Amino acid sequence: MDTNLQTVEIERKAEVFNWPFSRIATSLEASIIREILKISSRPGLINFAGGLPAPELFPIEQIRECVDAVLTNSGPASLQYSLTSGILPLREYLAEHVSKKGLPVTAENITITTGSQQGLDLVGRAFLEPGDYVLTELPTYMGALQAFNFYQVIYCPVTMDKDGILVDQAEEKIKQFKPKFIYLVPNFQNPSGITMSLERRQKVIDLAFKYHVPIVDDNPYGELRFSGKAVPSLRGIGGDAVIGLGTFSKLISPGLRIGWVVAPIACSKVIERVKQATDLHSATFPQYIIYEFLKRGYLEPHIEKIKVAYAHRLDIMESAMRKHFPENVTWPHPEGGLFLWLQLPEHVSTMKMLNESIEAGVAFVPGRPFHPDGSGDNTMRLNFANATPEGIVEGIKRLSVVLKKYC
């Protein structure tokens, strides 16, 4: 038998096999962020790319306590299959949390997802068909583009000012293209850091109702406000016109991969059904851990702790940038979130700078992949939360050397 198997092995290598992949699968590009993540363990590299929170701030001992309690009190249930929409106590907790901020909802409105990224994919699955239009901010979150690209959609990007998308331009595009939904990151937007003003939110919601276009409110950073005044959420103002996406990735741990979708029940049911076919349900055990963490009241103090640390890192990064960067590199000051968004002179290509920058020991994300219209080659995104304060200063120094060559 062994000898036979070996003969077979030699004959049956992949080279001779034509793999009949689907056209869309082969046309997809890998995310540049994920590609950078692969090399980010390179010794000495300072990583301003990716949306990684600070690992040294993870609440490891609290998570250990929570795991112990879960295994003691709900061991078998926490390791068993569970409902597609997620475990009931976590959905009830989230429903209560969401209800405090606007239209009341119940656990039936909530679906637990494998991070917000799965929320984006499930919304895509539920709504999008080839040739559909999606209205987005310009720039917009590249992970959303990746998720929606699979459904072969066309984007209607809308220009932003410091208060969010320009409503008149949005209305024109809605009238012309009838998009399936409006995708927005209203708080500390990824990548621009912009927070949409209340007035702008109300106007966009008016558009949603006038033209019957749902809004997808992607809100991973809303709780990470360091300064300024909180703005009511789109879901809070717009109620059932809005599908809300939330996540614990930036607040507790991305490795637990627990996010959620809040939507009108009719929509939740469709999302549940499309999710069922993709993975039956998200991991049960992390859902129990997160619920225990919330139940013990650990979330609020932990958010306070990371906000202080991130605000400090933002301050350090901006100071270092003012000190070291060429004057023709500019950025708006964000009031929260994880990201700084840099404008370089128009002739500069940050895509072309990336390799040299990595050679110099610092990684960033070039801005072009955030632009569905292919513009933005002179922009870049820096994560100020992930590196330590010392690393931030050193990384900005390294980046400034490269910037001075190009700008």
Stretch that binds a copy of itself, among 18-26, 291-299, 356-364, 373-381 (CB under 8 A): 18-26
| DSSP 8-state assignment for residue 12 | T
Report if residue 285 touches a copy of itself, rule: CB under 8 A.
Answer: yes
3-class DSSP assignment, residue 212: coil
According to CB under 8 A, which one of 39, 73, 75, 373 is a site residue for a copy of itself?
75
For residues 109 and 96, give the distance between their C-alpha atoms in angstroms, rounded to a whole number.
11
- CA nearest neighbour of 321 among 308, 332, 310: 332
> For the purposes of burial, counting CB atoms within 10 Å of the CB of 20, is it exposed (0-12), middle (13-18) or buried (19 or more)?
exposed
According to CB under 8 A, which one of 46, 48, 49, 84 is a site residue for a copy of itself?
84
The C-alpha R_g of the chain, in whole angstroms, comes to: 22
Report if residue 43 touches a copy of itself, rule: CB under 8 A.
Answer: no
Smallest separation (angstroms) from a copy of itself to the CB of 148: 9
According to CB under 8 A, which one of 190, 284, 350, 378 is a site residue for a copy of itself?
284
- CA nearest neighbour of 142 among 33, 245, 49: 33
Report if residue 140 touches a copy of itself, rule: CB under 8 A.
Answer: no
According to CB under 8 A, which one of 228, 232, 326, 332 is a site residue for a copy of itself?
232
Stretch that binds a copy of itself, among 163-171, 219-227, 279-287, 368-376 (CB under 8 A): 279-287
Structure tokens at 63: 């998570």
- CA nearest neighbour of 352 among 381, 378, 372, 326: 378
Footprint (CB under 8 A) of a copy of itself, residues 188-207: none
Q: Are 383 and 52 in contact (CB under 8 A)?
A: yes
Stretch that binds a copy of itself, among 128-136, 220-228, 335-343, 398-406 (CB under 8 A): 128-136
Report if residue 220 touches a copy of itself, rule: CB under 8 A.
Answer: no
Report if residue 255 touches a copy of itself, rule: CB under 8 A.
Answer: yes
Smallest separation (angstroms) from a copy of itself to the CB of 161: 24
Report if residue 83 touches a copy of itself, rule: CB under 8 A.
Answer: yes
Footprint (CB under 8 A) of a copy of itself, residues 158-187: 180-181
Report if residue 60 touches a copy of itself, rule: CB under 8 A.
Answer: yes
Report if residue 22 touches a copy of itself, rule: CB under 8 A.
Answer: yes
> For the purposes of burial, counting CB atoms within 10 Å of the CB of 263, is it exposed (0-12), middle (13-18) or buried (19 or more)?
buried
Footprint (CB under 8 A) of a copy of itself, residues 288-347: 289
Exposed e or buried b per residue across 158-196, where buried means at least 16 C-beta atoms within 10 angstroms of its C-beta? bebeeebbebebbbebbeeeebbbbbbbbbbbbbbbbbb
Smallest separation (angstroms) from a copy of itself to the CB of 17: 6
Name the residue nearer to a copy of itself (CB basis): 83 or 167.
83
Smallest separation (angstroms) from a copy of itself to the CB of 179: 9
Report if residue 73 touches a copy of itself, rule: CB under 8 A.
Answer: no
What is the per-residue binding string for a copy of itself in 88-127, x denoting contact by CB under 8 A?
--------------xxx--------xxx-xx--x---xxx
Structure tokens at 239: 């109620």
According to CB under 8 A, which one of 46, 50, 110, 316 is a site residue for a copy of itself?
50
Q: For the chain, first and last CA: distance in Å? A: 66
Report if residue 31 touches a copy of itself, rule: CB under 8 A.
Answer: yes
Reported as half-sphere exposure (CB side, CA atoms, 13 A), residue 380 has a value of 24
Name the residue nearer to a copy of itself (CB basis): 122 or 194.
122
- CA nearest neighbour of 109 among 209, 2, 246: 246
Q: Which run of H or E residues covers position 394?
A: helix 389-406
- CA nearest neighbour of 95 among 87, 104, 86: 104
Cβ count within 10 A of residue 303: 16
According to CB under 8 A, which one of 36, 207, 256, 338 is a site residue for a copy of itself?
256
Smallest separation (angstroms) from a copy of itself to the CB of 321: 25
Report if residue 369 touches a copy of itself, rule: CB under 8 A.
Answer: no
- Number of chain positions touching a copy of itself (CB under 8 A): 107
